[in-house]
Amino acid sequence: MQEQIEKLKQEIQSEDVSNKELLESFRIKYLGSKGAVKGLYKELKTVPNEEKRAAGQLINSVRELAEEIFNNQKEAFEQGPSEDYSSFDWSRPAQEFKLGTRHPISVVRKEIIDIFSRIGFTVSEGPEIEDDWHNFSALNFPPEHPARDMQDTFFVEKGEKEMALRTHTSSVQVRIMENQKPPIRTISPGRVYRNEAISARAHCFFHQVEGLYIDKDVSFADLKQTLLYFAKEMFGDKAEIRMRPSYFPFTEPSAEVDVSCSICNSKGCNVCKYTGFLEILGCGMVDPNVLEACGIDSKVYSGFAFGMGVERITQLKYQVNDLRLYSENDKRFLEQFKSAF
């Protein structure tokens, strides 16, 4: 029996186990329920009692050898390819590599920036935690304005030095006006915060792009032309805009701007509520009080400002009807924007 076992050991050591199929055959041949090791244990019954102990030990050593080879190789396969590529199939298709996608808000934000940079607007950024002066006072918000209420704004600090999460990116424009001499032509994209109950139509944070243009002789006609250009670039050449009088503390006169509904070609559908138009932004001529508060002579300079919600533009462009989808990180939603640049 000893001779038989030595031969078996040599055979085991010379087996080719260089791929998973060969390793599995190896396991069946030696360690399986009908394998060679099991066979040896069966034969043990026929060995005389006084030799059983020694023979048992020999058979154990065969089992251990086969198990060691099997386990080592199995582990090597689990850890990935070894240095030995001799049995590697080079024609095998590569593993799928999944590219990520840009978030729809980033896609549209970038598009808005591209459109305005083509007509000379620079990009400005500012802090998300803002003091009262930059968020409210410099922008002509009276002390009793409802936006200053705890119900509407997240205050970080109340009292002498009030600090809040900015409610709009107009605060960036104040900082620009304080630090730069006209002509100023800039947009400020960024995240803003409002104390709102979260629903399909409202969220406690969203993204804005606000624009500011200040120079000598800037008129309402310049504002209208700039926004018409934007609408055509964003929604297509057939896009039209209409302006409705409105009120904002920091602009005078002020208007809200609607763009023609591209879904129904202004014929009326449930998205535009059968009006043929969709609201996209607010705008106006910068209030002289705001210019003066920021150290700009309102008798020499005039300017316009506008602000839009990136979520709103994205909603219109991609027909997203629930604001919450943007921050849920659901891949089924995000992967739909694969083709967007």
CB 182 within 8 A of CB 153: no
> Out of 261, 280, 283, 290, which residue is the one contacting Zn ion (CB under 5 A)?
261
238 lies in the site for Zn ion, by CB under 5 A? no
**With respect to Zn ion, which residue has the nearer C-beta, 113 or 269?**
269
263 lies in the site for Zn ion, by CB under 5 A? yes
264 lies in the site for Zn ion, by CB under 5 A? yes
CB of 269 to Zn ion, least distance (A): 4
CB of 281 to Zn ion, least distance (A): 18
Per rule CB under 5 A, count of chain residues that contact Zn ion: 5
**With respect to Zn ion, which residue has the nearer C-beta, 191 or 317?**
317
- Looking at 116-124, 145-153, 156-164, 272-280, which segment touches Zn ion (CB under 5 A)? 272-280
CB of 111 to Zn ion, least distance (A): 21
- For 31, 138, 198, 210, 241, the CA distances from 281, given in Å and listed in that order, are 74, 21, 21, 9, 11
239 lies in the site for Zn ion, by CB under 5 A? no
Question: Can you spell out the DSSP letters for 104-133?
Answer: HHHHHHHHHHHHHHTTT-EE----SEEEHH
Torsion of CA 250, 256, 262, 267, to 10 degrees: 180
CB 233 within 8 A of CB 115: yes
Q: Which of 37, 28, 32 is nearest to 8 (CA)?
A: 37
- Looking at 143-151, 161-169, 232-240, 259-267, which segment touches Zn ion (CB under 5 A)? 259-267
CB of 274 to Zn ion, least distance (A): 7
Q: How far apart are CA 111 and CA 308, in angstroms?
A: 13
Q: Which residues bind Zn ion (CB under 5 A)?
A: 261, 263-264, 269, 272
